[in-house]
Amino acid sequence: MDTLELTHRQSLEFTDSLQLFEAWQDAKMRANHYSGSMHWKSIKGKKYLYHMLDGYGKGKSLGAENDKTQAMYDAFQQGKKETTERIKSLQKALDEKAALNRAVGLNRVPLIVARIVRELDKQGLMGERICTVGTHAIYAYEALAGVMVYRELLATADVDFLWDNRKEVKFYSAANVDGFLPILKKADRSFERSSQLYRAANKDGFMVDLIVAEPKDLREQPHEQMGDAYDLKASGIGSLRWLINSPKVEAVVMDSRGYPFRIVVPDPRSFAVHKLWVSKQPNRRADKAKRDQEQAFTVAKLVMERLPQFPFDAKALKMFPKDLVEQSLKAWR
Query: Are 66 and 48 spatial neighbours (Cβ–Cβ below 8 Å)?
Result: no
Tens-digit pLDDT profile for residues 21-43: 999 999 999 998 888 888 899 98
**Would you state the pLDDT for residue 5?**
93
List CB contacts of 34: < 8 A, sequence separation 6 or more.
76, 79, 80, 83
User: Among the three residues 40, 73, 103, which one is the final residue of a domain in this structure?
Assistant: 103
Query: Are 13 and 97 spatial neighbours (Cβ–Cβ below 8 Å)?
Result: yes
Q: How confident is the model at residue 205 (pLDDT cuts 50, 70, 90)?
A: very high
User: Among the three residues 53, 70, 103, which one is the final residue of a domain in this structure?
Assistant: 103
Question: Are 254 and 117 in the same domain?
Answer: yes
Query: For helices 268-279 and 286-306, what crossing angle results, to 10°?
Result: 150
Region of 305 (left: φ > 0; alpha: ψ -120 to 50; beta: rest) is: alpha
Mean pLDDT of 270-275: 97
DSSP secondary structure code for residue 87 in this structure: H
Mean pLDDT of 143-147: 96
What is the DSSP track for 275-286? HHHHHT-TTS-H
Phi, psi of 318 (to 5 degrees): -65, -15
Question: How many independent structural domains does the chain possess?
Answer: 3
Question: Are 239 and 271 in the same domain?
Answer: no
Residue 174 has pLDDT above 60, yes or no: no
**Would you state the pLDDT for residue 220?**
66
Radius of gyration of the chain (CA): 23
User: Among the three residues 103, 119, 147, which one is the final residue of a domain in this structure?
Assistant: 103
**Would you state the pLDDT for residue 175?**
56
Instruction: Give the global pTM.
Output: 0.90
Question: Are 191 and 86 in the same domain?
Answer: no
Which domain covers residue 309, as residue numbers?
267-333
Question: Are 129 and 256 in the same domain?
Answer: yes
**Would you state the pLDDT for residue 176?**
65
**Would you state the pLDDT for residue 98?**
97
pLDDT cut 90: percent of the chain above it? 76
Instruction: Report the chain's mean pLDDT, rounded to a whole number.
Output: 92
What beta strand segments (E) does 150-245 contain?
158-163, 192-193, 199-201, 207-213, 235-237
